[in-house]
């Protein structure tokens, strides 16, 4: 049976590294969403101090670490060097653009009156740029 | 890097998907290597040479 990968490539059988990555990524992303909802609902009750509040607020960050670990495992386990090269370049685009935007906005915040950007958006920006790059880079090889 | 993969593959009547399955890579990897847009690693080049029963320098030619 044919299936399409995250990079838009099809295999007759799903690449085992990609299958494991999809499972790990889904679990970690699910945990990310659930922990954000938990932390947000706890904060809404007005409890923003204390051990429980700090613990709940730290959980989404731990989920992000789990997502990054899943990505790292994928890069290490992917046997198809072409797919690995595309994903590596896409991740570098994600890291590079995110670092550039975050640092530049930081200086703008420091020296001007631009609005303060919420730091939690950094990971979303990284994922967005990585996703766009992973979709665009394979077109180079068509 | 120029290569003769397309001719060698055609000689055997293999599609890109057939070769990809033998190499355990994606069809797009085979296409990218054949069109010279992606240079394979040494292990993959040796695997290709073994598969086509030909020396590596017959499969790939270095371009200055």
Could you read off the pLDDT tens digit of each residue along chain A, which spans 142 residues? 333 344 444 444 568 999 999 999 999 999 999 999 999 999 999 888 889 999 999 999 999 999 999 999 999 999 999 999 999 999 999 999 999 999 999 999 999 999 999 999 999 999 999 999 999 999 999 8
A15 to chain B, any CB pair closer than 8 A? The answer is yes
Q: Which residues of chain B fall below pLDDT 50?
A: none
User: From CA B37, how far away is CA B30, in angstroms rounded?
Assistant: 10
SS3 per residue for chain B:
CEECHHHHHHHCCCCHHHHHHHHCCCHHHHHHHHCCCCCCCHHHHHHHHHHHCCCHHHHEECCC
CATH annotation of B2-53: 1.10.260.40
User: From CA A61, how far away is CA A18, in angstroms rounded?
Assistant: 24
Of B17, B28, B41, the CB nearest to A138: B28
| Model pLDDT, residue B62 | 87
Decide if the complex's ipTM is over 0.85: yes
| Model pLDDT, residue A15 | 85
Domain ranges of chain A: 1-79, 80-142
Largest CA distance in chain B: 32
The answer to whether the CB atoms of B38 and A15 lie below 8 A apart is no
Contact A19, A10 (CB under 8 A): no
- How far separated are the first and last CA of chain B, in Å rounded? 9
Q: Tokens in use for A85?
A: 């090269």
Contact A133, A87 (CB under 8 A): no
Using CB atoms and an 8 Å cut-off, which of residues 47-106 of chain A contact chain B?
A: 79-83, 85
The answer to whether the CB atoms of A81 and B28 lie below 8 A apart is no
In a mutagenesis test of the A interface, which of B17, B21, B28, B32 is the best target, namely the one with the most A β-carbons within 10 Å?
B28
Judging contacts by C-beta atoms under 8 Å, the chain A residues touching residue B37 are 140-141
Domain ranges of chain B: 2-53
The answer to whether the CB atoms of B29 and A82 lie below 8 A apart is yes
Judging contacts by C-beta atoms under 8 Å, the chain B residues touching residue A83 are 25-26, 29
Query: What's the pTM?
Result: 0.84
User: From CA A88, how far away is CA A130, in angstroms rounded?
Assistant: 10
- Closest residue of chain B to A79, computed from CA coordinates: B25
């Amino acid at each position: 049976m044919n299936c399409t990968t995250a990079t838009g490539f099809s295999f007759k059988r799903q690449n085992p590294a990609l299958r494991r990555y999809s499972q790990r990524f889904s679990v970690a992303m699910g945990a990310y969403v659930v922990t954000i909802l938990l932390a947000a609902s706890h904060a809404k009750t007005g409890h923003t101090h204390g051990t429980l509040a700090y613990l709940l607020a730290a959980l989404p960050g731990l989920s992000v670490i789990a997502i990054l670990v899943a990505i790292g495992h994928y890069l290490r386990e992917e046997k198809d060097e072409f797919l690995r090269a595309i994903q590596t370049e896409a991740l570098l685009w994600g890291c590079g653009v995110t670092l550039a935007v975050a640092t530049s906005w930081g200086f703008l915040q420091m020296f001007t009156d631009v609005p303060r950007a919420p730091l939690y958006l950094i990971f979303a920006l990284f994922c967005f740029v990585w996703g766009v790059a992973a979709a665009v880079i394979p077109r180079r090889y068509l | 890097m120029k290569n003769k993969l397309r001719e060698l593959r055609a000689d055997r009547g293999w599609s890109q998907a057939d070769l990809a399955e033998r190499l355990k890579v994606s069809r797009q990897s085979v296409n990218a290597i054949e069109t010279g847009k992606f240079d394979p690693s040494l292990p993959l080049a040796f695997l290709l040479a073994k598969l086509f029963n030909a020396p590596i320098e017959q499969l790939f030619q270095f371009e200055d």
